[in-house]
Chains A and B, each alone.
Chain A
């Protein structure tokens, strides 16, 4: 029965305008025929063409996707393990240090994480390149994954696992057959989060990368440091488009599942 009060409607309108106008402007100017922000010289998609001609950008994009894919996959495995240890493994020596190491990277300034990893790689004589970036991204992304997964594990009814054990599962089978399917949505969103974080990271990648492994954010950063570039607008538009599509699809799917479940529950009630 609630309605929007004028105050709430105004603050929401202004708030969302503030959040979305800059991105809309960015998208609009990616279609500007002129290189200058000042002038609107008509609609054109030529910057998209130039973007796809640019070998450097395409290479960087490919490197970034490779890094993001491997880093997020490793981070998901490690992060899920870490979450399981945090929530289910009970007490063990050094547990406090462990949970500290899980939560600290979330609030750690990226410059520090990046610097420390670089000094480590140099110290052990590991050549910097795509491998070191993947290692670095895995480390900070696994902490995000473990936070997402552990929040799901906490709300998870432990008696389900106990029931599986009671029915003859080994602990590993219980995890694979009962726990994992139930926490799967959290694991998937953890993977997506890790993927996005890796895709997006500039600072840590700048520290840990080496020759031949320039990622897209590094490329973009050096291109926009001095000013606005329409190719970058075009690139941004593509990225915003992908994210928007992904988020809207995901929310429609989850809404659909919720509606379906509610309908099925109601049907079950009625037939009972």
Chain B
């Protein structure tokens, strides 16, 4: 009995507050917008019984999805989100790998400190870390002043409110997500494997590409997914650092909902976003399972 209660409590909670809400989103994405409260039709009238339910089903359609394909704003935003997520993942990998490598190869007594330094930003507010760049990247910001002062540029660079600022913000905030899995893969690497590679005729660089990198691949993939997946739906970074030209689907959804109050369309946007995310999420899970099995 106790076991049943133990399972049922979190189970029911998640069903009620995670799964059912999705069903509702899906249902509303098939409804029509209406000037009412709540602002969509049809509403399910339980009092009308089975016939009411059939009538309700008949009212649902894919109109909103058709609308999404017709207005190029939406598919452009999806594409642009994917593009930004992809490139920022690549950049984060380029920045994060040397850091993870440096940490894993650091003297033993340094490693706990370095690890703490990489984790510390996790605990600081995401919002604050994004906001910090506003003061740096603006036209009168710290970066432009420094560059002007050094004489590198003659007039301020426009970085804030462009895609460049969005990339910087993403790389900055998601860097620990990339570094940590790579670090934990590299840390497990046995030094004698590298010595063996050198013993068998590799230069240090060859030993890196033939042994170190392939053996850290699981960590690299995990890090890439941990950046790529959440960035697609990112809202805070494009709205604080991006400009009017920055199209990201998380921002569109937010605006569709709060500014336009078009709930059915917002729901349809969310459903499609979810469908896009399923592929990388499944790949990520497979990679994690593979890693766990390899450890056993």
B42 within 8 A of partner (CB):
no
Q: Which of A20-28, A54-62, A261-269 contacts B (4 or more CB under 8 A)?
A: A20-28
Question: Which among B9, B112, B229, B270 is the interface contact of A115 at CB below 8 angstroms?
Answer: B270
Which residue of A is nearest B104, CB measured?
A8
Q: A202-B236, A225-B240 are in contact. Are A78 and B10 (CB under 8 A)?
A: yes
A180 within 8 A of partner (CB):
no
B293 within 8 A of partner (CB):
no
Which residue of B is nearest A19, CB measured?
B121
B215 within 8 A of partner (CB):
no
Q: A8-B102, A116-B22 are in contact. Are A200 and B125 (CB under 8 A)?
A: yes
Residues of A within 8 A of B141 (CB): 37
DSSP class of B's interface residues: helix, strand, loop or mixed?
Answer: helix
Q: Which of B54-62, B64-72, B129-137 contacts A (4 or more CB under 8 A)?
A: B129-137
Task: Give 1 or 0 for each of B1-26: 1 = CB within 8 Å of chain A CB.
Answer: 01100110111011101111110110
Q: Are A111 and B14 in contact (CB under 8 A)?
A: no
Q: Are B102 and A9 in contact (CB under 8 A)?
A: yes
Which residue of A is nearest B143, CB measured?
A25
Q: A115-B25, A115-B267, A224-B134 are in contact. Are A199 and B125 (CB under 8 A)?
A: yes
Within 8 A of A (CB), among B96-137: 96, 98-99, 101-103, 105-108, 112, 114, 116-121, 123-129, 131-136
Question: What is the distance, in angstroms, from A238's C-beta to the closest C-beta of chain B?
Answer: 10
Distance of A220 Cα from B131 Cα, bound (Å): 9
Q: A23-B124, A117-B17 are in contact. Are A36 and B25 (CB under 8 A)?
A: no
B95 within 8 A of partner (CB):
yes
Q: Which of A41-49, A97-105, A159-167 contacts B (4 or more CB under 8 A)?
A: A97-105
Q: Are B19 and A101 in contact (CB under 8 A)?
A: yes
Q: Are A221 and B108 in contact (CB under 8 A)?
A: no
A53 within 8 A of partner (CB):
no
B38 within 8 A of partner (CB):
yes
Q: Are A115 and B129 in contact (CB under 8 A)?
A: no
Interface residues of B, count at CB 8 A: 84
Within 8 A of B (CB), among A76-101: 78-79, 81-82, 84-85, 89, 92, 94, 97-98, 101
Residue among A119, A202, A233 facing the most chain B CB atoms (10 A cut-off): A119
Give residues in B with beta carbon < 8 Å to A: 2-3, 6-7, 9-11, 13-15, 17-22, 24-25, 28, 38, 95-96, 98-99, 101-103, 105-108, 112, 114, 116-121, 123-129, 131-136, 138, 140-142, 145, 172, 175, 179, 229-230, 232-236, 239-240, 250, 253-254, 257-258, 263, 266-267, 270, 273-274, 277, 281, 284-285
A158 within 8 A of partner (CB):
no
Q: A81-B6, A116-B24, A203-B235 are in contact. Are A22 and B133 (CB under 8 A)?
A: yes
Nearest 5 pairs between A and B by C-beta? A109-B233, A116-B21, A11-B98, A15-B99, A8-B102
